[in-house]
Structure 1
Amino acid sequence: MEPQARIIENTKYRILGDSEGQSSSFNLLWIIPVTPRIDYDRAVNEAIGNLRGDNLIEVQTWLERQYWIVGMVEILHVKGKVIQYEK
């Protein structure tokens, strides 16, 4: 578990709730990339955007791989608590 996804900009914030984001990629025949590579920032932005927050704390990440006859799918999961900085 990581303490936060990005640098904490303000020590005063409120927790909006739990959220999860994903980023995935597909490799044809397990070696030929067909889609963009998995992207940590994209997964974090999705998790934060789900609750319209500013940052993600208590971050958990894990990688899932699915093997198919035609290739492999990699899915990066990011989960944590979304926070919003107080003005």
Structure 2
Amino acid sequence: MKYHYKMATGIFIIFMTTVLYTRYELELYTWFCENEENGAACFVTHNLYLEEKSPEAASKYLRMSCKLEYEIACDLVNKKNSLPQN
């Protein structure tokens, strides 16, 4: 019977961790970007804001990611800057 309680507890913990992660994903990456100066977290935050249709915030975090020398972000910034503007 103890095995069932341990298994149920493990499943509950995994379930709650997943629920909390999906609920607070944007806040988590934003915190790591702004407080830990993590370029990869800034890039993920940029992508999450793009999914939410918020291009101003996405652009801010893309520039922060490049400033923190995250190469993928800098490549994207340079690509956007090289496009002809209308």
Please give the TM-score of this superposition, normalised by the length of structure 1: 0.24
Larger radius of gyration: 2
* Larger helix percent: 2
Greater relative contact order structure (CA < 8 Å, 6+ sep): 1
